[in-house]
Chains A and B, each alone.
Chain A
């Protein structure tokens, strides 16, 4: 069955290292969201793309975070350099028909720990 996949599922890294998280949206979905979830802040929207173009990345720290969609089947979220405060679960979600208001399908998340 169709589902959003994310890799890696878990990542432990040291402060200062580059981290790249990947997301494969459901085939045919052309809107992709990146969220971050922490105990303190809960869920936050980092960025979202429609037809591979960034529509809103205001929730993302620009100095260290970058998000791209190299093609329609892959979205990436990169942190360089990583910091302990980046430790969180990062979720990707995709939407059918490109509407931001339709049902979102979430990936299983990448649990990032920065030491």
Chain B
């Protein structure tokens, strides 16, 4: 049983498309994180959410605590957005999703 589920596992999009990655969790949490891991392996923390919505450039993250669900949106996608996006939740323990591999084609 996975405490954090992400969908889709793999996603291919054309440059310029609007992208949504979903994360559902089954445990009580204090915060939810979205991480980005580029092909070279480096990890960057994109957002930390405990409620509502956050926006940074073309990235938007939302969370619905009642539904235990979060989404990461990328507007006007670009090939440099190609990466693995990982959802993680923190509460009594840390749980990680298995990641969504995004490829944006020029």
Size band of the interface chain A makes with B: 20 to 34
Q: Does B75 contact A (CB under 8 A)?
A: no
Q: Does B98 contact A (CB under 8 A)?
A: yes
The chain A residue sitting closest to B94, CB to CB, is A45
**Is the pair A108, B42 in contact by a Cβ cutoff of 8 Å?**
yes
**Is the pair B42, A44 in contact by a Cβ cutoff of 8 Å?**
no
B71-96, CB under 8 A of A: which get 1 and which 0? 00000000000000010101001101
**Is the pair A105, B45 in contact by a Cβ cutoff of 8 Å?**
yes
The chain B residue sitting closest to A102, CB to CB, is B48
**Is the pair A43, B88 in contact by a Cβ cutoff of 8 Å?**
yes
Query: In the complex, A43 Cα to B43 Cα: how many Å?
Result: 11
* A100/B90 contact (C-beta < 8 A), A42-B98, A43-B96, A44-B96 known: yes
* A101/B45 contact (C-beta < 8 A), A43-B86, A43-B88 known: no
**Is the pair A104, B41 in contact by a Cβ cutoff of 8 Å?**
no
Partner of A108, one of B41, B45, B48: B41
Partner of B42, one of A102, A109, A111: A109
**Chain B interface residue count, Cβ-Cβ cutoff 8 angstroms:** 19
8 Å CB contacts to B: which residues of A42-63? Answer: 42-45, 56, 58-59
Q: Does B44 contact A (CB under 8 A)?
A: yes
**Is the pair A91, B50 in contact by a Cβ cutoff of 8 Å?**
no
A58-B93, A59-B94 given; name 18 further pairs at CB < 8 Å. A42-B98, A43-B86, A43-B88, A43-B96, A45-B94, A89-B41, A91-B43, A93-B45, A100-B90, A101-B90, A103-B45, A104-B45, A105-B45, A106-B42, A108-B41, A108-B42, A109-B42, A111-B41
Q: Can you list 14 pairs linking A and B with CB atoms under 8 Å apart?
A: A42-B97, A42-B98, A43-B86, A43-B88, A56-B93, A58-B93, A91-B43, A93-B45, A100-B90, A103-B45, A104-B33, A106-B43, A109-B41, A111-B41
